[in-house]
Every structure is written in C-alpha cells, then in structure tokens.
Amino acid sequence: MIAVLSSARHALIAGIVLAVVAVVAAIAADGVDRLGLISFLLRATHVVAAMVWVGMIWFVNFVQHAAVTGADDAGRGTLMRLVVPNVAWIFRHASHLVLLSGVLLMLPTGYLLGNWVFGAPVYMSLAKSLLMWGAVAGAVAMWAFVHMFIWPNLQVVLGLRPGNADAKAAARAKVALYARANLLLAVPVTVLMVAAAHLF
C-alpha cells in the first residue's frame, strides 16, 4: 500500500489497474459484444479525458488565476516556471484526447455514419440530436479557444514567443478571458452530453 501511494504516478497506475481488473471481471462474467466493448473503451477514455480537461479549467479559473494575480514578482516567476507550463501541457493534450475520443464515439453511438456501422439508418429523436450537436458545437468551440487563443497567448506570457511588457499584459488578459469562456461552456457541454446519453 505504501509503495502504491509513494508517488502520484504509482497511485494513478494502481487506480487504472483496479478499474481494468473490475471491468475484465465483469466482462468475464457476462460477456460483451465487439461494438459494445469499443463503445465502452471510447466512452471511458472520453469521460476520463474530459474530467482532466474540465478539472484543469476549474483549477485555472478558481486557483491559478488568483495565485498568479496575488503573488509578488518572485512568486509569480515561480508559478510561471513550475506550475503554469505543466497545467497548460495537461489541458492541451487532454483537449485533443476529448475531441478525438468524442469524434470516434460518434460512430458506435449512431450519431455519425449509422448506416455504415449498423447496416441500417439509426433513429435519433430531434431532442437527442439537438442535445448532442449543441454540446459538440460548444465543445469544439472550447477546443478552438484553447488552440487559437489560450495557448498562443500563454506562450507570450511564458516568454516562449516574443513580446514586450504591453504585449504580455494584453496576452495575459486574453488568456483569462478565454479561460472564463471555457469555464462558461464546460458545464452546459458536460450536462448536454450526459443528457444526450442518458435522458431518453
């Protein structure tokens, strides 16, 4: 137990092993068809990646922003060196994984190319389709905000791209603005996706 809790990496690996053992035992007991398994694996990947991305959005807006704003110059320098780049790396890659797993999940759930996957058109009520496509639109906007506005401006703030003090201040304001836009969209996107999957 102590070895498992000796580092975050070990704890995470142990958690993944626990999840895999439980799922494999359930499949061994009841079985699962190929499409069901693919759908489950994509859904699990999607939800865990979304959890990490939205967790980072929460952290940036409610913890990191206040810490960076309130810190003195030395403290801000430490945050910019040791915290902000790691947070940015995690949410950038989590956002790619959410988008990729989400697009692939559209296939076994029948939203895209149903005819091809199931050999017949998949009936989708208007409400379910609207919930799903509304959520997808919001999620794609969130992904675009990260890669078109947040990351390029954060690179200026971190000194990875050139910029004087004014450019850095403007870039910092843009990062904060789009981080808030992502926070605004995170809850409706998550709720609409859960509703599309479970409401009907």
User: What's the one-letter identity of residue 60?
Assistant: V
Q: Which is nearer to ligand HEM, 84 or 105 (CB)?
A: 105
Nearer to ligand HEM among residue 156 and residue 193 (C-beta) = 193
Is 99:139 a contact under the CB 8 Å cutoff? yes
Applying the rule CB under 6 A, the residues between 90 and 149 that interact with ligand HEM are 98-99, 102-103, 105-106, 109, 111, 136, 139-140, 142
Among 47, 90, 117, 167, binds ligand HEM (CB under 6 A): 47
Min dist CB 50 to ligand HEM, Å, is 4
Three-state DSSP at 6 gives coil
Residue 58, phi-psi category: left (phi > 0), alpha (psi -120 to 50), beta (remainder): alpha
CA 124 to chain centre: 26
Name the token pair of 191.
């709720």
Give the 3-state secondary structure of residue 120.
coil
The smaller minimum CB distance to ligand HEM, of residues 34 and 198, is found at: 198
Burial of 79 (0-12, 13-18, 19+ CB in 10 A): middle
156 binds ligand HEM (CB under 6 A): no
Q: Which residues bind ligand HEM (CB under 6 A)?
A: 43, 46-47, 50, 53-54, 98-99, 102-103, 105-106, 109, 111, 136, 139-140, 142, 186, 189-190, 193-194, 196-198
